Structure 1
Amino acid sequence: MDMARSRRNFLKKNGVAVAAVLGAGCTALGSDEDEGLVVGDIFFMNHHSDARKVRLAIDRNDNQIYDRTVHVPGGDRYLKTITARWSSEPAVFKLTYVGLSEEVESEIYERTLTAEDAVDGECTIPVIDLKAPGSQRQGRIAFGLMKPSQFRDHVGVSCPER
């Protein structure tokens, strides 16, 4: 399947307002603190030498708190692009993202984060990883969860302020 054509068809069918598409169809897992976790800064990793674009929507307890196109510089390193400005109270988070650059897969991804995804009692740092050509998952978008102490070489990793 031609990914560029697929992305154009998706955008054409659903209009220019990708935000509406990314925020639609949400199903609640509940907003009870027992089901949630604390999410800190959100990081991207771009293995390409040049910049890529990703559309990202974040829902916290079924309320959209972020919806933008993120420009991710190239360079094969972790790049903090979204600082946690939401509450430090545990919540259920849903991240919905899609690659908008030709070389990045255009499939829409959705990750719901609950208490089961919490990392060692610290806040949880989502990492969205844009794989480069030649890698095992070439052109795909990978997802991982880390804790702040795993970013020893990166200044400014943080959890939401209490």
Structure 2
Amino acid sequence: MKSGPTDHDNLEQMLEERAQQIEALQKSLTEAENKAQKYEQEWSALYDRNKELLGEKHQLFQDYETLRLQKGGFGFKAMMISGCTGFLVALVLCFVYLKLKPKNPHVVAFRQFEREHLFDYELAISQGRFHDVERSMQQNMDRPEYRPIANEIEFAKNLVEAARNRCK
């Protein structure tokens, strides 16, 4: 019968251990419930803050759209200004290119010859001084700056000679 009280002692000891385990589990459960409640409160606060921020964002977008419409579409104005500026810059660049592009030496020489001598030649021909015009043309054909248009000067000289022969 000795085994009976030992079993009883073991049983009491087991009951005490179980009671301690139950207490520890209840304490853990209480702590877990407190943590869960704390996390739920934090989540609720974050959810409310998120809702507020979304409302502010929506309000800002509405205010922006209202302001944009009141100002008359800033984007369109900026696009128009940019387009006009681009057009004007392109126009200026085209003008600069046309003024600065290398010119054909033939054209440059002919324009210079025309500018320097045409009026004098017309005046001399109208006064009947054909020999002066022919002599001047011969001298100009020998000048290095008029070499590119020597053929044109020769042709004009022949025309003056023909006019002189016709007028005799």
Q: Name the TM-score, length of structure 1 as normaliser.
A: 0.16
Q: Name the TM-score, length of structure 2 as normaliser.
A: 0.16
More strand by share: 1
- Structure possessing the higher relative contact order (Cα contacts under 8 Å, 6 or more residues apart): 1
Larger radius of gyration: 2
